[in-house]
Chain A
């Protein structure tokens, strides 16, 4: 095999999920009437913003060799905190700040802080007390959702302040600002993971934690930062969710966790840690969103989505195993 074919084959393997996305979009465009139009593609991007942002945080900790099941509940708690403070009906307190735009940074900081605090708790328990990330974040998944129910009393907040809602309405190049926020997050965190020492260390910690410790990398510090980032990013997802739904309900975002896992796995991130890139995860998110949109357009009952998502995850895992065998032949 010549170096060039080997190189291009590597390129295809590394970006397989993007080729899958293009393939799926092409197939849908050919076979589904009305699929091929800018509005539909914009809708795919728009509908994936909350899931996309949440998947970034999840992917970071999984790449570092751990796990965060709490992201969904954290997003709900952040959304509820923002909802209670800045919604004017339901359980909303209708807090007003002058000038109006001040509510944007304040609500954003609150959402991020809520997420970061839970991230600190998760990270501290996992790293300092050497407990399993699966169990600790499973507990957080449950108690944080419980906290949402407690502070809301099971009721909902509606009518988010217009100054904050503005992000979901104002469009730039056909996409609402919330979608641009998600895209910007992917760009920023992709660069951090691929180009900075911190990102490189996370990947290496996921690959061989002992080796990185011996090499003098501050493993615990890096891991706690990763969990705080995952929490804060989930908080941002909650902020976007509150804008999208113009408020918050007690069961907001239920089920997002499994979609986020699906996106991360489809995007080529290995649950064993150390493997995966964020652009791949974004392709995974878009792929799920494209399939949802296609199902809507075809008028299939929405219940089918779950079956298809499940099969897609299965296909992604099988594909990953297949990729490994090809790579072994390449090496």
Chain B
């Protein structure tokens, strides 16, 4: 692999006296799917928030596309090309599907110099994106509060597939999905990665990680406890890394 997409170099995060991250170092390549595993409280979500601009690291540095990178807000991360799907859904249930899909990036046209929402153009884009992904939602003008949990999650997933960017972070994206939808979601991730986009997926389900990831990174007590290619390890070995027993089969990926 040539130059990695994102490099984390000894990133730490303290909450007062508590060290949530004690020095995380790993890297993600273009078009690579990395599964981030770890027990509850290991620091996975903290790490995702630091990359996504929701939190600032206490120390350490990040390189994005070879350049020094630090997102002070989600807006900055987005501008750099980093999309995030959080485990608690980031939808505004009081507005319709189209408005959610375009949240913060509305298509506008100028009327007398004032930007005005171009609803028709946006609806067309959303209709196409959902149809491509095989998601069926009765009306794109339905408020999201009237949709089921699965439909909501599908909107989020379709949103990141559509916007893409350069790096996608997924924090337990399949929590509310059924079997068929999960399978389709995993396909979506492969499809996104095949376009050269880096993907980081946090999951608790070992089977999902092995289905979709190229590489598995395990975090334990705020440090990287294992960083292995998927085809060089086994679920049992990964579980041992997560729980901290013997590091059989673990080792640097390179």
Are A207 and B94 in contact, with the CB atoms below 8 A? yes
Q: Which residue of B lies closest to A220 (CB)?
A: B73
Are A208 and B90 in contact, with the CB atoms below 8 A? yes
Q: Smallest CB–CB gap between B113 and chain A, Å? A: 12
- B84 CB contacts on chain A under 8 angstroms: 214
Q: Which residue of A lies closest to B49 (CB)?
A: A214
Choice from B74, B86, B89, B115 contacting A196 with Cβ under 8 Å: B115
Stretch touching chain A among B56-64, B100-108, B178-186: B100-108
A211 CB-CB contact with B under 8 Å: yes
- A327 CB contacts on chain B under 8 angstroms: 146
Assembly CA distance A197 to B104 (angstroms) = 8
Choice from A196, A204, A217, A331 contacting B95 with Cβ under 8 Å: A204
Choice from B52, B74, B86, B108 contacting A197 with Cβ under 8 Å: B108
A171 CB-CB contact with B under 8 Å: no
Are B86 and A274 in contact, with the CB atoms below 8 A? no
Choice from A214, A216, A218, A330 contacting B86 with Cβ under 8 Å: A214
Assembly CA distance A40 to B108 (angstroms) = 42
- A195 CB contacts on chain B under 8 angstroms: 116-117
- B150 CB contacts on chain A under 8 angstroms: none
A201 CB-CB contact with B under 8 Å: yes
A15 CB-CB contact with B under 8 Å: no
B79 CB-CB contact with A under 8 Å: yes
Are B115 and A214 in contact, with the CB atoms below 8 A? no
B93 CB-CB contact with A under 8 Å: yes
From 193 to 207 in chain B, residues with beta carbon under 8 angstroms from any chain A beta carbon are none
Contacts A216-B79, A327-B146 given; indicate if A207 touches B74 (C-beta within 8 A). Answer: no
A210 CB-CB contact with B under 8 Å: yes
Are B117 and A216 in contact, with the CB atoms below 8 A? no
A300 CB-CB contact with B under 8 Å: no
Contacts A214-B84, A331-B146 given; indicate if A196 touches B114 (C-beta within 8 A). Answer: yes
Are B90 and A214 in contact, with the CB atoms below 8 A? yes
B124 CB-CB contact with A under 8 Å: no
Are A211 and B103 in contact, with the CB atoms below 8 A? yes
- A212 CB contacts on chain B under 8 angstroms: 92, 103-104
Which B residues are within 8 Å of any A CB, using their own CB? Answer: 52, 54, 73-75, 77-79, 84, 86, 89-95, 99, 103-106, 108, 114-117, 142, 146
- What 8 A-B pairs have minimum CB-CB distances, sorted nearest first? A207-B94, A331-B146, A216-B75, A207-B92, A274-B94, A211-B90, A215-B104, A215-B103
